[in-house]
Structure 1
Amino acid sequence: MSKDKQGQRWRRWLVAMALAALVAAYIGLDLGRYLSLDAIQASQAELQAWREARPVLAGLIYFGAYVVVTALSLPGAAVMTLAGGAMFGLGWGTLIVSFASSIGATLAFLASRWLLGGWVQARFGDRLATLNAGIARDGGFYLFTLRLVPVLPFFVINLAMGVTTLRTWTFYWVSQIGMFAGTLVYVNAGTQLGQIQSLSGIVSPGVLGSLVLLGVFPLIARKLIDLFKARKVYARFKQPARFDRNLVVIGGGSAGLVTAYIAAAIKARVTLVEQHALGGDCLNTGCVPSKALIRSAKFLSHVRRAPEFGMRSASADFDFGEVMERVQRVVQAIEPHDSVERYTGLGVDVAQGRARIVSPWAVEITHHDGRVETLTTRAIVIAAGARPFVPPIPGLDRLGPTELLTSDNVWQLRQRPARLVVLGGGPIGSELTQAFARLGSQVTQVEMAARILGREDEDVSALVTARFRAEGITVLTGHKALRVAVEGSQKVLVVEVEGQERSIPFDALLVAVGRVANLKGYGLEELGVTTGRTVEVNGYLQTNIPNIFAAGDVAGPYQFTHVAAHQAWYAAVNALFDPFKKFSADYRVIPWATFVEPEVARVGLNELEAKEKGIPHEVTVYGIDDLDRAIADSEAHGFVKVLTVPGKDKILGVTLVGEHAADLLAEYVLAMKHGIGLNKILGTIHTYPTLAEANKYAAGTWKRAHAPQALLAWVARFHAWRRG
């Protein structure tokens, strides 16, 4: 721990002890007797006389005392409010109490945040993600409602809000306004202090009912505002009296297919529109073909590693074109899973053509045969996916279709490029870099950042980079692409590194610098759907037009097939059952993998993110080079890295690097989803010898680091005593 953090921790302890001492003194000296109803009533005459003699001093002292009582969350604020009414009357009493209570509450809020906020967010951040999002969006409404309804004590609200992410200024001004009604009631009661028998009699059922109605008002107002916004959005469109469909889904990739399937499964009438082939990018140009190519390339790498497996030599005679044909056969074998026939059989109406949203309740479909059909629908889900991003690098437009490659068109190659430059060091670029190198291309990978796989920890990037270079790949990091040019008889990519230009010759240039959402061509702009880099949605995957939803790559925030399928459930259910019921999408436990060798997979936080977010954590690393099965398979490389809450076995995140890392990750995904800690993983029997034992051994490494040394010392003495 750094000296700054250690000093900060000590300051927190000192402040906490000082506050505890003040509260203890308050209780020990029985100062609460001065803030009882009887005590105030008994000294009412003296208080009024003191106030008349020194009005300014009395006001300042009363104001300061009220701030201290509320800031320390001491009992007695209600009685002090009555005293304010008795001393200063309704007008001045309400004014003084209103500001003193708000300032005191804000000080309590800040103390709670400084002492506990960081710890609570670090320990329970994953569970509080939904709450934090709600606070960021509607925190003022939540607080206003709580202030108006005197159900929870105000000091509890102050302390609880302190550990959320609510802005301090929002807390103050909402408290100032929200507590005004209750303040007015109590100060007014204080003007008749002599007639009050008990505090419970102040808030009569009628007054309490009125305050409850005031508290509910912000929620009603919010609903009315949402309704007004919706009516404004819908004003220029005519809603049909009846609908042809319950749901129309635009896009037949992972998000669209799953959305349509769920809708059909719960007996809604749904139409799925896809202008190309069902299955989307994942089946046709992404996950499936890339993994088929990687498998063929991996076989060749094993042939070259024959001596490691006890073979004198081995060779493989292959044709690049035949390898690419195998890739297409794999796609075709999986294609029936996403076929028109299958989904029609599941109850989905599949329309092959181009969709265009012409109103919030109507979608125009231009079928492949030229027929135009307009369907009215209760709701729409946009699942239009994304495409490779090609940056505006000068000279790219001069390249032919076999020279400028992306993850979309690379599968059309049948001739292997002798010299391939891969622009991009992310997952897609890295996977294709290694695959083409193993298939015999001379590959140069160019990345503008300081390392490839920049979202992973540095040790992960270093391990993959070392493997790439060992396989003959030229990895150039810190190189910025400037332009494509022709030098003599060859095409080159001109890059900048440390202020100097360098030319890299190529036969083909593969651009893999990211993907961009498909936002144009199907009516979003004309309709007024809000977009940025993606279609903008709320936690319910709802756009600014309430009956239009979006899921998958077109919506983000994660461009993974499994996340698109995950979002599809929320999109389908919310679209079909809004406004009766909606569910907020849960992104707390998202796994992902990069299928290079060594394979990289992770879930939750890695070290990079934990440090960036300032989340306290411990790191446990188990080296797979120690694992029996990995040694037997000649795959003794990589590691399991687990981030946990300091001193606890609660898992914050896991990074796995090594053979079948993505498969091994599933145990940790399940553990994080259901709150299973490392102790229970350690206590689970894992088959020997398997790679999955790495997970148990990682838990064992954590356990050894947290062994109760003092207890073990006593146990050693016990055994010594037993020996005599």
Structure 2
Amino acid sequence: MKKTGLLIVIAAFIVGFFYFDLHQLLTLEGLKSGLDQFEIWRAESPLFVGGAFLLLYVVVTALSLPGAAIMTLAAGALFGLGWGLLIVSFASSIGATLAFLVSRYLLQNTVQKRFGDRLKAINEGVEKDGAFYLFTLRLVPLFPFFLINLLMGLTTIRAVTFYWASQVGMLAGTFVFVNAGTQLGQLESLSGILSPSLLFSFVLLGVFPLIAKKLLNLIKARRVYAGFTKPKTFDRNLIVIGGGAGGLVSAYIAAAVKAKVTLIEAHKMGGDCLNYGCIPSKALIKSAKVAQQMRHAENYGLDSREPTFSFKKVMARVHDVISKVEPHDSVERYTKLGVDVVQGYATLVDPWTVEIQRNDGGTQRMTARSIVLATGARPFIPALPGLDEVGYYTSDTLWEAFATFDAPPTRLVVLGGGPIGCELAQSFARLGSSVTQVERSARIMVREDEEVSELVQESMTSDGVTILTSHNAIRCEKDGDVKRLIVEKDGQETVIEFDALICAVGREARLEGYGLENLGIETKRTIVTNDYLETLFPNIFAAGDVAGPYQFTHVAAHQAWYAAVNALFGTVKKFRVDYRVIPWATFVDPEVARVGLSEQDAKEKGIAYEMVRYGLDDLDRAIADSAAHGFVKVLTVPGKDTILGVTIVGEHAGDLLAEFVLAMKYGLGLNKILGTIHTYPTWAESNKYAAGEWKRAHAPERILHWLEKYHTWRRG
């Protein structure tokens, strides 16, 4: 009842405010027309008018009514800079705090109870840094102040903190507006508009947000770098830690613009992608695919046969492929490009200094104006009882270990139904292993649409993979030379004997050992960065898997451009990372490639869409290649050809996706793809035919009806 009564009172004030046309007084015209009368009242009763003005200002801001900005100008015109600034400063802070308290009283409990889980991170941030966050909003008003008052009331920030942060934060802006008001008060004719003092006041009003932003950066820098001594000179413009995709591209860009850059890598240049991920896995996939094609050679009019091969030669080819790609990422190449490459392990000493434990045994320190952290990720190892006892491999370790095997593991268990697990499971099954894949979710490749998962599972099962979905791995056991994995589903345990086990349940960022904890750089599974890839320290950036949110080589390279450019030129211009169009592919057979929204994503997010689908069983080139399976599925804005997302399942899906990525990046719709000539017969025609399916679904039926009549008339 108390809340209801308060709402009635507030509503009555607001209705009365508009009913009696009081809002007309709080416009620029109202201010100018009433200025003379206000001046008379002020001269007769200065204290009364000042107090009444303060009270009215408090009411306007407390009720979030329009006109606070005009009242601020009026304060300057009526009371001058000194008294006007004093009155408005306290009135605005008191009114804002009242609005804050009303919002808290009426809504906070309800909002926190309903959205507590979603607001947990916000509450933690407010508790840790709420005053500074509020101060920045007050200093640079990106949002209207009345919204800040109401929304802050829903958080857990203390009322006292809210008041003083508002008082201090709004002071600079209040000064600018009140000062402008003093000039309005002195305006006696139109010619006065051109007076230097008035022009200066409005120039100050216009550039205030820029000045405030610079001031805020200075305050933030002093706050963040307190306790550290910045070097007077630097050894390097940029230090890059990590020689994977993110680090290599960052160093390359820095060298290309003639900055002095050092790249530090503790292990192998090229990172995970070259040595353990993209390159070796694709080499293995190709060998496995050829073996499978030999088994099904009748599809091409040839005699089928069981392939005979040396597994050691297959693995030797994998390492040969790595060695052929290796020069692209080598120390020699990057040294020639102008990058100082140091082999060693780097640790942050302070925001500008790195200590390197060199691989040759020495220790070295160097300073840089900016630092990029590109330390990558490693396989996540589940806390599975008995796992260490039975032994296991990961996508990082299997390449060296399996290279010594005379034959692929007879019985192989793959833990994980994501992209890495599916690629490895299918490849080793095609090379002769009896593979059991264990996934705790209801299906493999859960990030994709259900029909995609089903198609991939069907293909893998036909290749001999036993897929156990909705199964939890609970422990491993070893009895002599016999190794077992025990899995559970619906309370029923199943024992799986194996010769080798691969953990492929995901990857985690490499965060430890680089000095992040000592500097207080925040981590939450990845290094926490802002839109510019800056960490807590504006001169330290993160890129690639260690920064998230995507663990793809091409995204690491994409982020690296932003990290390097912002690190080198951020004082002049900074660029926000663009994540709007991110493609990815899983190289199972058939390949799965996607960009933008899937149907699953659209439904979860409540985004309206239309879907068109083209089956590759209709594509001439797919039929000629005996690979007529899969589809191209496109999601569009209802009634428009604007592309929301594309999923392709089939041969060369990763390559076919590029056309849609380009279209989405530059705002091209399906009509543009349909109007583009595609070579016949190619796989790329499938994209055009998918666009044609959309066109047919949106054919102008009424116009076609009249065209039919027209042609009938023309025939006589």
TM-score category by the smaller chain?
A: 0.7 to 0.9
Query: Is the CA contact (8 Å cut-off) linking 1:254 and 1:565 kept in structure 2?
Result: yes
2:705 to 709, 713, 717: 713
Q: Is the 8 A contact 1:66 1:97 kept in 2?
A: no
Amino acid of the structure 1 residue aligned with 2:222: F
SS at match of 1:375: strand
**Hey, what's the Cα distance between the residues in 2 that align with 1:37 and 1:529?**
50
Report what 1:224 is aligned to: 218
Secondary structure of the residue aligned to 2:523 is: coil
SS of 2:421's equivalent in the other structure is: helix
The alpha-carbon deviation at position 37 of structure 1 amounts to 7.9
Pair 1:371 & 2:352 matched: no
- CA–CA distance in structure 1, aligned partners of residues 74 and 336 of structure 2: 72
Distance (whole Å) between structure 2 residues aligned to residue 103 and residue 711 of structure 1: 61
Amino acid paired to 1:433: A
CA contact under 8 A between 2:180 and 2:202: conserved in structure 1?
no
Structure 2 residue 478 is the aligned partner of structure 1 residue 486: yes
Contact 2:583/2:594 (<8 A) preserved: yes
Q: Aligned in 2, Cα 1:459/1:187: closer, same or farther, shift over 3 Å? A: same
1:600 Cα deviation after fit:
0.4
In the alignment, is the contact (CA less than 8 A) between 1:354 and 1:367 conserved in 2? yes
Q: Which residue of 1 aligns with 2:635?
A: 643
> Which residue of 327, 344, 349 corresponds with 1:336?
327
Structure 1 residues 631 and 380, CA gap change in structure 2 (3 angstroms) = same
The superposition leaves residues 4-56 of structure 1 with CA deviations (integer Å, 9 ceiling, x where unpaired) of: xxxxxxxxxxxxxxxxxxx9xx9xxx9x99x8789979999xx99xxxxxxxx
Amino acid at match of 1:350: V
Partner of 1:394: 385
- Tell whether 2:398 aligns with 1:410: yes
The CA deviation at 1:353 is: 2.3
- Decide which moves more: 645-654 or 290-299: 645-654
The alpha carbon displacement at 1:410 in A equals 1.0
Residues 125-140 of structure 1 mapped to structure 2, 5 A cutoff: none
User: Aligned-pair distance for 1:232?
Assistant: 1.0
**In the aligned structure 2, how far is the partner of 1:641 from the partner of 1:254?**
30
The aligned residue for residue 293 of structure 2 is: 302
Shift of 1:453: 0.6
Q: Is the 8 A contact 2:555 2:582 kept in 1?
A: yes
Residues 332-481 of structure 1: matches in 2 within 5 Å?
Answer: 332-400=323-391, 404-411=392-399, 412-413=401-402, 414=405, 415-481=407-473
Q: Paired residue for 1:689?
A: 681
| In structure 2, C-alpha distance between the alignment counterparts of 1:690 and 1:351, rounded to whole Å | 46
Q: Distance in 2 between matches of 1:76 and 1:273?
A: 55
Q: 1:597 aligns to what SS in structure 2?
A: coil
Which shifted more, 270-279 or 488-497? 488-497
In the alignment, the residues of structure 2 paired with residue 530 and residue 524 of structure 1 have an alpha-carbon distance, to the nearest angstrom, of: 8
CA contact (8 A) 1:288 1:330 kept: yes
Alpha carbons of 1:98 and 1:584: their partners in 2 closer, same or farther (altered >3 Å)?
closer
Q: How many angstroms apart in 1 are the aligned matches of 2:565 and 2:635?
A: 34
| Residue equivalent to 1:3 | none
Deviation at 1:210, TM superposition (A): 5.8
Tell me how far 1:374 sits from its aligned partner: 2.3
Aligned match of 2:228: 234
> In the aligned structure 1, how far is the partner of 2:509 from the partner of 2:614?
39
CA 101–648 in structure 1, closer or farther in 2 if over 3 Å, else same: farther
Q: Which residue of 2 aligns with 1:529?
A: 521
Distance in 1 between residues matched to 2:313 and 2:251, nearest whole Å = 36
Partner of 1:257: 248
Alpha-carbon displacement from aligned partner over 1:76-96 (angstroms, at most 9, x marks no partner)? 99699989x99xxx9999999
Distance 1:504 1:98 in 2: 68
Mapped contact 1:436–1:443 kept (Cα < 8 A) = yes
TM-superposed deviation, 1:718: 2.2
Measure the CA separation in 1 of the matches of 2:547 and 2:181.
Answer: 52
Alpha-carbon contact 1:379-1:576 (below 8 Å) kept: yes
Report what 2:271 is aligned to.
Answer: 280
Q: 1:512 aligns with which of 504, 507, 517?
A: 504
Contact 2:72 2:177 in 1 (8 A): no
Please say which of residues 509-518 and 354-363 is displaced more in the overlay: 354-363
Residues 678 and 684 in structure 2, CA contact (< 8 A), matched pair in contact too:
yes
Separation in structure 2 between the aligned mates of residue 667 and residue 552 of structure 1, nearest angstrom: 24
Alignment partner, residue 652 of structure 2: 660
Cα pair 2:72 2:181 within 8 Å, conserved: no
Listed one character per residue, the Cα deviations across residues 677-724 of structure 1 (whole Å, up to 9, x for unaligned) are 111000000011111001001111111111122222222222223223
DSSP 3-state at the match of 2:347: strand
**Counterpart code for 2:513:** G
Q: How many residues align?
A: 636
Contact 2:139 2:216 in 1 (8 A): no
Aligned match for 1:699, one of 676, 691, 704: 691
For the structure 1 residues 233 and 664, does the alpha-carbon distance in structure 2 shift closer, same or farther, using more than 3 Å as the test?
Answer: farther
Moved over 3 A (4+): 35-44, 75-83, 90-104, 137-147, 166-190, 195-218, 486-489
Q: Structure 1 length as normaliser, TM-score?
A: 0.76
Is the 2:612–2:690 contact (alpha carbons within 8 Å) kept by the matching residues of 1? yes
Describe the SS at the equivalent of 1:232. coil
1:336 aligned partner, one-letter code: P
Residues 351 and 537, structure 2, Cα contact 8 Å, conserved in 1:
yes
Report sequence identity in percent. Answer: 53
Structure 1 unaligned spans of 5+: 1-22, 49-57, 105-136, 148-156
Aligned CA distance change for structure 1 residues 66 and 77 (closer, same or farther; 3 Å): farther
Structure 1 residues 65-116: Cα deviation after superposition (integer angstroms, max 9, x where no partner): 999x998x9x999699989x99xxx999999999999999xxxxxxxxxxxx
SS where residue 613 of structure 2 aligns? Answer: strand
Give the conservation status (yes or no) of the 8 Å contact 1:70–1:77: no
Matching residue's letter, 2:398:
V
Which runs of structure 2 are paired with 1:12-51 in the superposition (5 Å)?
none
Structure 1 residue 659, shift from structure 2 partner: 0.4
TM-score scaled by structure 2? 0.77
Q: Distance in 1 between matches of 2:91 and 2:374?
A: 56
The alignment partner of 1:323 has SS state of helix
Q: Distance in 2 between matches of 1:42 and 1:246?
A: 61
Partner of 2:603: 611
Q: CA deviation at 1:517?
A: 1.3
| SS of alignment partner, residue 641 of structure 1 | strand
Matched, 1:631 2:623: yes
Secondary structure of residue in 1 paired with 2:425 = helix
In structure 2, C-alpha distance between the alignment counterparts of 1:278 and 1:101, rounded to whole Å: 56
SS state at 1:448 partner: coil
Distance in 1 (CA, whole Å) between partners of 2:692 and 2:237 is 53
Alpha-carbon distance in 1 for matches of 2:69, 2:233: 58
Q: 1:117-156 alignment to 2 at 5 Å?
A: 141=136, 145=140
Taking a change above 3 Å as real, the CA distance of residues 184 and 521 of structure 1, as seen in their structure-2 partners, is closer
Instruction: Give 1:191-202 correspondences, 5 Å limit.
Output: none
Rounded to whole Å, the distance in 1 between the matches of 2:233 and 2:73 is: 58
Q: Mark the runs of 5 or more structure 2 residues left unpaired by the alignment.
A: 1-17, 43-51, 79-83, 100-131, 156-161
- What's the offset of the Cα at 1:361? 2.7
CA contact (8 A) 1:97 1:183 kept: no
For residue 526 of structure 1, report the CA deviation from its aligned partner. 3.0
Evaluate the alpha carbon distance shift between residue 78 and residue 284 of structure 1 in structure 2; reply closer, same or farther with a 3 A threshold. Answer: closer
- State the alpha-carbon separation in 1 of the partners of residues 625 and 238 from structure 2: 51
Distance 1:669 1:277 in 2: 32
Q: Secondary structure at the match of 1:234?
A: coil
Equivalence for 1:546: 538
Query: Could you tell me how far apart the structure 2 residues matched to 1:260 and 1:680 are?
Result: 37
**Do the aligned residues in 1 keep the contact of 2:390 with 2:478 (CA within 8 Å)?**
no
Cα gap change, 1:684/1:206 in structure 2, threshold over 3 Å: closer, same or farther? closer
Change (3 A) 1:246 1:212: closer
Output the amino acid matched with 1:405.
Y
C-alpha offsets along residues 443-498 of structure 1, whole Å, 9 cap, x if unaligned? 11111111111111111111111111122211111111111023686321111211
State the AA in 1 paired with 2:388: D
Q: How far apart, in 1, do the equivalents of 2:88 and 2:235 lie?
A: 63
